[in-house]
Amino acid sequence: FFSEKIMKYASEYIVPSNIVEQIWTIINDKTNITDLPILEIQTLQEKFREYLSCIDAQEKLETTDGMICFKFNPAADISLEGQIILSAAMFHLVNSCLYTPAPEPKNRLPYTTFKSSAKTPEKLMAAGVKFYTPDEKLSYHNDVFYQDGRYFIPKYVSLINLFIGYDAPGNFYYINQRMWHDFEKFFSKGVGQKFKYRPTPIVYESHIEQENAKSPMDNWVDVPVFWKDPSGMKVVFSNGELRDNESTTVISELKKSLLENDEKLAIPQKTNQIMIFRNDIGFHSRDIFKEQKVFEGTTRLFLRAVSEESITVPA
């Protein structure tokens, strides 16, 4: 569906090997990504920020493209388990130098772990996770989080694949507001209206393994999809399940427009790389993962981090 003729690849930056080596020295005795010495990892922030000052990554992230990618090369003799630990540590270092990660509510870590397993797809679907399994097609959306009865759009989102059990995972895609040719048209049509919304729940595997797993968020709520924040920035909310009002087709047309937009950024979905994007001014999607090569246990493992800085979705 996506043609390479109408997309470009996001800017990629290689993390200096001495930084990767120093991270490994700090964490090489760790056996779990929930047991990382966060404060010790942050002692390398000055060195990484010095590297950032020599490249145009922040300019690309903030003013030009809205999405960038950092790659790193683990030493050849590091085990798969060690590479996963190293990847989590690198993920936090890079994120913490670009924004303040919001702590994950469950364990207070600066990222959330997501796992897809060969044994659980039916239970995931029963739990309402319609856009989570790797072989499900994602529509373009921006990420949100829920806290104290309100929804928030984080300014920044980062992703890293720790393990991919597929030979053909395809690309990750991003469209910022400037790339979306119909942005102004849809903003004018939808501003001031509210639409029915139901979030796609984040369900931990320990929850869905229980019998009778079901969606914890079955209620639809009314939310604005287009508005201006206090600074005057135009915001578009596109997450979970959105429904048109009886008198409009704005939402269905919006989704179609993003899918058909002839300009987008792409990053090949691989391990040992960190994808960071402006979630507040853009929309992301990914290809369906194909050619599955792992049929037992974990088929995909990834981390997501979001920034504390965010936009509140109006009531």
Decide if 72 contacts 270 (C-beta within 8 A). Answer: no
Q: What pLDDT digit, counting tens, does each position of 83-108 carry?
A: 999 999 999 999 999 999 999 888 89
Task: Give first-to-last CA distance, the chain, whole Å.
Answer: 37
How many CA atoms within 13 Å lie on the side-chain side of 209?
8
> Could you tell me the residue range of the domain that residue 293 belongs to?
4-312
Query: What are the C-alpha distances in Å from 247 to residues 193, 243, 244?
Result: 11, 11, 8
Q: In this predicted structure, what is the pLDDT of residue 245?
A: 86
- The structure tokens 């939808």 sit at 190
Question: What is the Cα–Cα distance from 214 to 128, expressed in whole angstroms?
Answer: 7
Q: What pLDDT digit, counting tens, does each position of 284-315 carry?
A: 999 999 999 988 889 999 999 999 999 999 98
- By C-alpha distance, which of 197, 175, 189, 187 is closest to 235? 187
Instruction: For the chain, count helices (H), then strands (E).
Output: 9, 20
Q: In this predicted structure, what is the pLDDT of residue 164?
A: 96
pTM of the model: 0.90
Count structural domains, the chain: 1
Q: In this predicted structure, what is the pLDDT of residue 212?
A: 46
CATH of the domain at 223: 3.60.130.10
pLDDT at 167 over 80: yes
